[in-house]
Each structure stands twice: as structure tokens, then as C-alpha cells.
Chain A
């Protein structure tokens, strides 16, 4: 019942909302980033982070640090927090929280399948997987030879199974197929998540539909840009767009026929929210597009915290934390490789 969540929300969701808001206040601030950007070595970064919430996770690391260790430990913190929240959650919040991880699951499936295709070691691949997207039989993915087997052997047990209905073919796996599979899965996932949020109703539906629509639109743009110059047909391309969002349906028609980046730009500039993103970029530029999208996303995610009694905060928090870890990774890489001049290239300040 819209507008009346305040009466009953706190019975089940109040504790966790408080928890997640507490976690949010632990996110690194612009001052932290400024300090981090001035670090000379990875030890400096560790030292600075030890004053933040990451402290306990990094304090027992022996001194010659690697970027991967920092990222791994920071991710571990996020995973611990997520698991704690998931343990405390009741329906429908627990389902909502599980939905958040499906995206990582898709990425992991794709990672393993691609890796096996290129004959990498499974253990090595497993280490690279995002811990939030792990499921029991993920290592078995390496057994499968084609999509049908992939589905029948492994994925039928996972929550991703329903999303697979559209891409079960007996074709052998190759890079192109896998990429299409990823996008089809993601499309199905986003649509399912969107429907789920609509079913929840209230402020959750309102806020989440906005966030998910942005996600869908961003993916549509990325698919378009990445598929320019490949053998993907227009119809196939259109099939990969999610069936909601600001661009749906007319924007999708236009995007489907785009042949270069400037056409994409022309089509996107018709939509006021995206106008500002594209107006920041010079013509023909795609490098900074990711960052621009991330910045816009962070802005929207932060806004989700302005309203109370909805589940969007959980989604927003997880995304913000992931962005923070991306930032930390970038900063650490820049510091480790002595590329400090590029440090600001891809760091997105959260506050």
C-alpha cells in the first residue's frame, strides 16, 4: 500500500535498514579519497584504510601488499556485511537481497565458461570470480560443452535457470555466443528484478524502477557501442535490450540502427537525463563514457538514501560499496604502477 509503509515497514525491515544506513555512513568520503590519492606506496594506502572500516580486514596482512590483496579484503568486508544482512532478512527482503547477487552470478558463469574455452585452470578462474556470485556447483561449469549442457548440468539448480530459456541452443560455445548469452541473461535478470520490485510496490517499486531503468538504459547504450562493427544484426541487437527503462521502446528502435558513436549520441541526447552525460563528452569519445555513467549512477544511488522505508537502500548500498572497491582498486593500481597522474581518471567520488 503506497504511502503506508511507515506503519509496518519497521516490523521486519527496520533493523536491517538501520544496519545498512550505518554501513553507508562508513563509506569513504571525498576527504578520504583525497588522502588516498596522495599515497606514495600501497603501505600508505593500508595505513590510511586502517583508520576506516576496512581496518580490521587489512590489519593482519603482511607488509609487501599487492593490489589484489587490498581488493580481496575490501570485497571480503562487503561480502561479510551482505551475508550478515541476508541472515537477518525475512521475506521479501531476503529475496530482494538475493536478486542483487544474480548479476554477479551471471558474470561468474560467463567468466568460467570463457575461461574454460580458452583452457585456463579452473581453480585460477574460481579465484577471480566475485564472491557474491558464487553458487555451489560453479566449478562444474567447466564440464559443459554447449549451452544446452550448461543449462542441463549446472544452471538448472541455480536461480539463473529461468533466465536461460531464451538462449538454450545446441551451438558450441564461442566468444560471440557467450557474450550474447551474457546479455540475454542480463536482460532477463533485469526484467525479472524489475517485475519483482513492481510486485513489492510502494516506495521500493518507485525507487528501484528508477535505478533499474538507468541500469537497463546504460546496458542498452553499451551493447550498442560494443556491437558497432560486429556481425550482430540489428534484430539480434534489439533482442538484447531490456523491455523497460526510459529508452523503451522508441529509443531502442533508434539505438538498434546506430552505426557509429555519434549516432548513439544523437539518439541519447533526446532524453534529458542522458543529455547531461553526453554533453560532458567530446564528439567521438567513448573512453570517458563509463565514468560519466558511473558518476550518474552514484548520484542516483545516493538519492535512494533520502527516502525511508524501502528496499532500494540495500541495492544502493551494495552498488556504492562496489563502486568504492573499484575506486580503491584503481587508486592502488595507479600507486603500484607509479601512474599517479592518472589517478583521477576513473575515481568516482561517492560523497
Chain B
């Protein structure tokens, strides 16, 4: 038996890759190249040897800073490109490789050029805005002035004079300048300020003006016709043109100050109509001029941006790589002579030749005199866990890793999860109609694999896409289980021949009262379609599914315990085999293994025995006669033996292990203290690695309490975990009942009417319910329950899951994150 197990071919996924701790001594001149080759290879995980140093005290901090600066510039380009509304093209770039220094210079040039272009266009935009505003003010304010003018002529003489005087000054000069010249009528007369302000501020502006002048003013406003670009946020804002009439010098300063405070731009408007026309003409012509300049500027800038956008992705990638290389170099230590860098890290053993080859290449390419020294070292901490997965197994490995990363070289549950997970899912989701729907979805995802993996997906699609092979297996298994349950959208089909049952008479009147009679061999595969709709459908299916759940559960838990045996063998801990694996196996199988046996016997013999009764009275009164519940000869003595075995197994798994550990410890301790001379050589050999490095104080009470918790958990868990597998039955029942309801109460009901519309409504409701409730919600819940069964009921039998993942320094993983 032992031989046989040893000779089994090694499973790749069962144990994580053998890792080794290596040291690299790299001459400074080839360090950068060596690290970047290693990054391309991506099979070495560096350890940070400078963890105590803050980031800016490390050796290559300047290079890192330069990279950060460059990526800032690239981000600036990206923002500019997206602001300009250009799409950064992802053409294959034909430009030859450039090195970092050149790139830095290029980037700086580009940035400089862009900033200059921006400032130019900003300046033009600013004057353009001003002119545009002026135009608006002219258009609107003239209207106010005319109306107020006619008003004034009718009512007041003085006003007229004043306007006249205003005309005199207000041709080309701005209002501010006007103010400086003291006019005789300025102090007393009515004057005005015209300008433009953001619409959102207009109301508050008016209120403030009212308060400041104590109501002695007239505020006219009209919305501007065009939207104006806000230079800061480059958003279009609505503006309002206003004209304020007031009197007095004091008010004027106040109003101008308020205008300034509110960011309102004031523009002078001449009163004379000919002047107005002249200015309007001038403004319009200059506007047109500026517009062409602005357009030319924008075109020029877009061209520059497009040429940058052409290379941006590649540059970004390059800068990121460089930064990663320098970050890694920062993890290395200088040796004493300052001529070499010393690095430490983990790598899988199979990768050693590849790494060596890459290092040699680096030495050769950088014309270094001295090669890189690469050798294996002893490590104190436990190695990282690294499974080589492919695109099929990776999703299943993810499912396991989500619970906890396997301890180094521990048995990996993912191996079995590949089959058991979709199978348990399917037990709960057994319907081959729904299964086919899922299968189509999975196939679509797989067929478009290469296309989908290249593009960026939303979080939900990402998840779905990542689990496409899980989905595929889940759908295949649910088609299988659906065939067993004989359900197609809850409708049974006669696929494998006719039913084994028929009516008692031709009228078939007693179908739902007395039942059918069996007249030929059982239905060859799965559930007989005649059960459907019969009175005993539910009791029959429930008992079937419940028993099946128990069987599946017991099998899976046994598999878990078996894996703990393989673990113990692998780590050659006979203690765990003798005092943990054996009693656990006995305990579980003497109770629930026996129950499974009874189930199988009952199925085979067709006996009417009550299994509840058997199991309960096995504990309550084991010596009593079983009576009609007896399934086979010698059942009673067997039960007594099994019960005794189970009772013995509990103290067996509880007591011996901690005591033996204690004895071993004291022996070792004594050997160390007194028997050094005689036994030292042997002692050192025998001791496992970990014990030598960590002289932990052996705390008996702690070990004992731990063992107690473990044993109690197992004993209670055996009962509750078995019961927990009944969720297989419960969810399967829920699924089939739900789909029956949707089929019968929606689709068939609607089909009963002879109206096209009602049928259509019924069909669409049925389709939506099937898609969203059955295919999405039910899939999700069955998935979660399958997940729970694996994480809790199965993995707690053997899985420690306290390792850490192997994270090699690799360029491939760098480009994925960010952006």
C-alpha cells in the first residue's frame, strides 16, 4: 500500500512548486540589465533587504524620482489628449527603442511645447472671450439704453444732459478711465455701468448692489445669447448682461469694487448710435480674426497631441518598467566593496536554469567582466506558495485562494475542486434546460476569449469572464444532473424510453387518488417521468435527494480526511496519522459511513426500514431488538461495535497527541542540556528544521487546549457538517419548485387563454423570470452554497491555508495594474 502510494505519478497541482531561497551578487554595471531580464522572465520574488530605510534613503531614489516625473508628464499628455477629445490610437509603433535619457529629453520637450501652446491658446482664448463678452454687452445694453433714454427724455431733463455729457467722454476710453476725469455733471447726474456676469451669481450680485447703494440704483439684465467658455474649467457657462444705473461718485467706486469682487467684467458702452455701430463692427471683425487664429492654434496643438498620443502607450509602458526595475534595485543591498549589489529572493527550483541563463545573457550584453553569482541559501521563513496554473485551472485555484493561500507544499484542494465544485453546484441546479442556457453563455465567453481578454471589462463581466471555465463545467454538470432529475425547465421528457408505470384502466381516472401500477422494467436513466405531478412526487424526490446529499457529503468529507493523511505522510508526521487521521476516519465512518451503508442497502433491497429509527435507537438503546427495521443479518452487533469504536475514537484523538508532544519536547530538552556529548550528532540530524531555529517555549496547556478545540470541532462538526450537506437537497428542491411555479402558473396559465397578447405577456414574464431569477439569482445562490460546502465542510478537514502567495517580479503583472 505504502509502495503503491509512493509510486503514484506526481500531480503538478497537488503540491505547490518546490521553492528555493537564492542569493544574487550582481556587479553594479550589469545590475540594471540583469534585473530587467529577470523582470521579463518573471520567476523571482525579491526580498526587500532595505525595509528599515525610508523610500528616499535608498540607492536609486533619483532614478525612481525621474521615472515618477516622467509618468507625471505622460499623465499630463493623457489629460491633454482626452481634453482635446482625441482618441489615443493604439497603432503598432514602428519607432525603434529609445533609451530612458532620450525619452526624458523628448518628454521634456513635448511638455514644454505643449505648455507654450496652451498658454498661447489660453491668451487668445482670453481675449476672444473678452471680445465676445463685449459684443454681448453691446448688443444687450444698447437695448436698455435706448429704452431708458426715451424714458428719460419724457420725464427728466437733467438726465438728458447727463447722457449727453456721457457721450462726450465715453467713446474709446473705458469707464474706469472716464471716472478719473472730473466732469461737472458727474457728481450729481445719473450714470451707468454695463458689464457681464455669470448667471449663477447674478441674483446675489443684484442684491449686493441694492444693499451697497441703499436701493438707489436701477438694475437691468438680460441673458446673453451664447454660452461662454470658462477658461479655468473649460466648461460652457451661461452669462447675463447687466446695466446698472446709479448716481454719485461714491456709489460708483462701490459698484466697481463689487463688480470686481463678483468677477463681473465691465465694458463701456457709448451712447451715440453711430459710435455703437462702429464699435460693434470693429469688435465683430476682430472676433472673426481671433477665431481663425484660435482655430489654427487648436489645429496645431491637436497635431502635436496626436503625435504624442501615437507613442504614449509605449512610453508609459517603458517608464513603468523602468520604475519597477529601479524599485527592485532599491530592494538590493550594496556589499562591502560597493561594487556589487546583493539580492535575495525566492524562486521555484525548475526556474533556476532559466534565471541563470538570463543572468548570463545580462552579463554578456552589458560587457561586464564579472559574472553574476547566483547561489542557493538556507532560509528561515517558510517559502511562498506557487501553483503553476493554466487558464482552465486558475479560476478553481482562485476559489481556493479566496479562502486562504495554501501552506507551502500542502495538499491543494483545487485539484479536486475542479470536479467537485461544479458537481455540487449542479446537484443544486439540476435542470438541463437551464444547464443548456448556462452552457451557451459559457461557450460564448470561451469562443470570444482572445477578444475579451484583451479589452477592459466591467467588474461584473470581469468576474464572469474569469470564471468562464467554472461556468462551463457547472453547466455541463447541471445538464447531467438535470437528466437524472429529468427536468427541462421543470418539464419531464421521455428521452430514455417509456415510463415504467401505467394507468390501472383505460380511463386513467385514479391517477391522482390511488396511483399507477408498474408494468415493466424501471426507467433506464434518471427519474421516471411519470412521477411528475403525482401525489407522491415530493416525498419520493425528497427522500431521494436527501439520501443522495448525505452520501455525497460523507464521500467528500472522507476525501478531506484522506487528504489530511496524504499531508501527514508528505510532511512525515506519523503522529498526525496515528492520533488524528485514524480516529477521525473511524469516528466519521462508524456513524455516518454506517448511515450511508444503510442507505445503499435500502436502495438495493427495497426494504421499508425506517433509517431515522435505526440511527436514533442506535444511540438510545443499542441493545434493543431492531424488529422490522432490520436490514441485514448481524446488524445489531455491528451497531454496538461501531458505537463503541466511535466512543473510543473521541479520547483517542483528544489525549495522546499533546502528551506525546510533551514527552518528545522534554526528551529533546534533556538531550540538549545533559546528553550533548553522547547524542548531539544524532539529535541534530533528527530534529526538524523549524525546531532548530525557533526555540519556542513548549506550552503544554496551550497545546492541549488547541487539541481539545480541534477534537470537539471535529466531533460536533461530523454531525453538523453532514447535516449541512442537506443544503444540496434543499436548494435543489427550491430550484425545481420555483421553475415549476414559473412554468405552470405563468406560461401554462397564459397559454390557456386564446389571446395573442396574453400569451405574449405570459411568455415574456416567463422568459424574464427564467433569466433573472432562475439563471442569475439561483446560479448565484447555488454557487455560494457550493462554495461554502467546499470552504467549510470539506477544507476544514485538512486545509491550513496559512501560506502566502509567490509574487515574482514581473513586467507582465506591472502593466496590468494602473490605468
Which residue of chain A has its CB nearest to the CB of B55?
A47
Given known A-B contacts A51-B55, A152-B211, A63 and B69 have beta carbons under 8 A apart:
yes
A339 at the interface (CB under 8 A from B): no
A283 to B257, CA, bound (A): 50
Q: State the Cβ distance, A155 to closest chain B Cβ, in Å.
A: 11
List residues of chain A with CB within 8 A of the CB of B258: 140, 143
Query: What are the residues of chain B within 8 A of A35 when measuring CB–CB?
Result: 54
B-facing mask of A58-75, CB < 8 A → 1, else 0? 011111000000000000
Q: How many contacts between A and B, using CB within 8 angstroms?
A: 57
| A351-B502 Cα distance, complex, nearest whole Å | 82
Contact of A137 with B208 in the complex, beta carbons under 8 Å? yes
Q: Shortest CB–CB separation between residue B567 and chain A, in angstroms? A: 38
The reply to whether A48 and B55 contact each other, CB–CB distance below 8 Å, is yes
A231 part of interface (Cβ distance < 8 Å): no
Task: Evaluate whether A60 and B257 lie within 8 angstroms (CB atoms) in the complex, with A48-B54, A137-B204 already known.
Answer: no
- Among residues of B, the one whose C-beta sits closest to the C-beta of A149 is B212
Of residues 27 through 74 on chain A, the ones whose CB sits less than 8 Å from some CB of chain B are: 35, 38-40, 43-44, 47-48, 50-51, 59-63
The reply on A153 being an interface residue by CB < 8 A is yes
For B211, give its contact among A44, A47, A153 (CB under 8 Å).
A153
Q: How far does the alpha carbon of A154 sit from the alpha carbon of B64 in the complex, in Å?
A: 51
Q: Which residues of A contact B76 (CB under 8 A)?
A: 60
Nearest CB of chain A from residue B24's CB, rounded to whole Å: 26
Interface residue tally for chain B (C-beta within 8 Å): 23
Q: Provide the residues of chain B in CB contact with A79, threshold 8 Å.
A: none
B65: which A residues are within 8 A, CB to CB? 43, 47, 63
Chain B residues within an 8 Å CB radius of A50: 68
B665 within 8 A of A: no
Q: Are B261 and A59 in contact (CB under 8 A)?
A: no
What are the residues of chain B within 8 A of A153 when measuring CB–CB?
Answer: 208, 211-212
- The answer on a CB contact under 8 Å between A139 and B261 is yes
Report B-chain residues with C-beta under 8 Å of the C-beta of A62. 69, 72
Q: Which residue of the partner chain B has the closest CB to A116?
A: B257
Decide if A331 is an interface residue (CB 8 Å cutoff): no
- Of chain A, the residue at the smallest CB distance from B254 is A143
Contact status of A136 and B204, CB under 8 A, knowing A40-B56, A44-B56, A51-B55: yes
A38 & B54 in contact (Cβ 8 Å cutoff): yes
* Chain A residues within 8 Å of B56, by CB: 39-40, 44, 47-48
Set of chain A residues within 8 Å of B201, measured between Cβ atoms: 136
- Tell me whether A139 and B68 are in contact (CB under 8 A): no
Determine whether B704 belongs to the interface, using a CB cutoff of 8 Å to chain A. Answer: no
**A143 contacts across to B, CB distance below 8 A:** 212, 254, 257-258, 261
Mark interface residues in A111-138 (1 if CB within 8 Å of B CB, else 0).
0000000000010000000000000110
Q: With an 8 A cutoff between CB atoms, is B788 at the interface?
A: no
Assess whether B291 is interfacial by the CB under 8 Å rule: no
State whether A142 touches B261 (Cβ < 8 A). yes
Q: Are B260 and A139 interface neighbours, CB within 8 A?
A: yes
Q: Which residues of A contact B57 (CB under 8 A)?
A: 38
CB-based contact B261/A140 at 8 Å: yes
Q: Which residue of B lies closest to A139 (CB)?
A: B261
Complex formed: what's the CA distance from A39 to B56 in Å?
8
* Neighbouring A residues of B64 by C-beta, 8 Å: 47
8 A Cβ contacts from A290-327 to B: none
User: Would you call B745 an interface residue if the criterion is a C-beta within 8 Å of the partner chain's C-beta atoms?
Assistant: no
Task: Please give the distance in Å from A154's CB to the nearest CB on chain B.
Answer: 8
Cα A50 to Cα B258 in complex, Å, equals 41
Q: Cβ of B204 and Cβ of A60 under 8 Å apart?
A: no
When distances are taken between beta carbons in the complex, the residues of chain B under 8 Å from A40 are: 56
**Which residue of chain B lies nearest to A35 when distances are taken between CB atoms in the complex?**
B54
Give chain A residues whose Cβ lies under 8 Å from the Cβ of B204: 136-137
Question: Who on chain B is nearest to A50 by CB?
Answer: B68
Residues of A within 8 A of B68 (CB): 47, 50, 59
**Among B55, B56, B69, B201, residue most surrounded by chain A Cβ atoms (within 10 Å):** B56
In the bound complex, residues from chain A placing their C-beta under 8 Å from that of B61 are: 47
Shortest Cβ distance from A32 into B: residue: B54
Q: How far is the CA of A12 from the CA of B57 in the complex (A)?
A: 46
**Cα–Cα distance between A43 and B212 once the two chains are bound (Å):** 48
Contact among B55, B72, B211, B260 with A60 in the assembled complex (CB-CB below 8 Å): B72
- Give residues 137-192 of A contacting B (CB, 8 Å): 137, 139-140, 142-143, 152-154
A177–B257 Cα gap in the complex (Å)?
A: 23
Q: B54 contacts which chain A residues (CB < 8 A)?
A: 35, 38, 48
A69 to chain B, nearest CB (A): 13
Q: Which residues of A contact B261 (CB under 8 A)?
A: 122, 137, 139-140, 142-143
- Does B668 touch A at the CB level, under 8 Å? no
CA distance A61 to B211 in the complex (A): 43
Cα distance A154–B57 in the bound complex, in angstroms: 52
State A63–B108 Cα separation when bound (angstroms).
Answer: 12
> B754 CB to closest chain A CB, in angstroms?
53
A44 to B261, CA, bound (A): 39
B310 at the binding interface (Cβ < 8 Å): no
A62, B74: Cα distance in complex, Å = 12
Tell me how far the C-beta of B126 lies from the nearest C-beta in chain A, rounded to whole angstroms: 16
Task: For B55, list chain A residues within 8 Å (CB).
Answer: 47-48, 51
Note all chain A residues with C-beta closer than 8 A to B257. 140, 142-143
Q: How far is the CA of A136 from the CA of B261 in the complex (A)?
A: 10
Say yes or no: A122 contacts B212, CB within 8 Å.
Answer: no
In the bound assembly, the distance between CA atoms of A35 and B211 in angstroms comes to 54
When C-beta atoms are compared, the residue in chain B nearest to A36 turns out to be B54
Contacts A35-B54, A48-B54; is A139 near B262 (CB within 8 Å)?
yes
Q: Are B260 and A122 in contact (CB under 8 A)?
A: yes
Bound complex: CA of A308 vs CA of B337, how far in Å? 57
Inside 8 A of A137's CB, which chain B residues have their CB?
Answer: 204, 208, 261-262
**Complex Cα distance A51/B54, Å?**
11
Say if the beta carbon of B494 comes within 8 Å of chain A: no
Q: Which B residue's beta carbon lies closest to that of A123?
A: B260
Residue B706 interfacial (CB < 8 Å) = no
Report Cα–Cα, A152/B211, bound state, in Å: 7
B281 in the interface (beta carbon within 8 A): no
Chain A residues within 8 Å of B262, by CB: 137, 139-140
Chain A proximity of B649: nearest CB distance (Å)? 47
Q: Does B535 contact A (CB under 8 A)?
A: no
Bound complex: CA of A61 vs CA of B73, how far in Å?
Answer: 10
Residues of B within 8 A of A43 (CB): 65
Residue-wise interface mask of B (621-638) relative to A, using a CB-CB cutoff of 8 A (1 in contact, 0 not): 000000000000000000
Which residues of A are found within 8 Å of B339, using beta-carbon distances? Answer: none
Which residues of the other chain, B, contact A154 by a CB distance below 8 angstroms?
A: 208
The 8 A CB mask of B33-54 against A (1 = contact, 0 = none) is 0000000000000000000001
8 Å CB interface, A203-253 against B: none
Whether the Cβ atoms of A59 and B254 lie closer than 8 Å is no
Q: Whose C-beta in chain B lies nearest to the C-beta of A59?
A: B72
- Complex alpha-carbon distance, A40 and B65, angstroms: 14
Q: Does B75 contact A (CB under 8 A)?
A: yes
Interface residues of B in 180-211 (CB under 8 A from A): 201, 204, 208, 211
Residues of B within 8 A of A38 (CB): 54, 57
CB distance from A309 to the nearest CB of B (A): 33
A43 vs B64: C-alpha distance in the bound complex, in angstroms? 12
Distance A39 CA – B55 CA, assembled complex (angstroms): 10
Which single residue of chain B is at the shortest CB-CB distance from A34?
A: B54
A47 → B minimal CB distance (Å): 5
- Least CB distance, B129 to chain A, in whole angstroms: 18
- The 3 A-B residue pairs with the shortest CB-CB distance in the complex, in nearest-first order: A139-B261, A35-B54, A44-B56
What would 16 more interface pairs be, CB under 8 Å, given A51-B55, A63-B69? Answer: A47-B56, A47-B65, A47-B68, A48-B54, A50-B68, A59-B75, A60-B72, A61-B72, A62-B69, A137-B204, A137-B261, A139-B260, A139-B262, A140-B258, A143-B261, A153-B208
19 contacts between A and B (CB under 8 A): A39-B56, A40-B56, A47-B64, A47-B68, A48-B54, A59-B68, A59-B75, A122-B261, A136-B204, A137-B204, A137-B208, A137-B261, A137-B262, A140-B208, A140-B257, A140-B262, A143-B257, A152-B211, A153-B208
Q: Spell out B's residues near A (CB within 8 Å).
A: 54-57, 61, 64-65, 68-69, 72, 75-76, 201, 204, 208, 211-212, 254, 257-258, 260-262
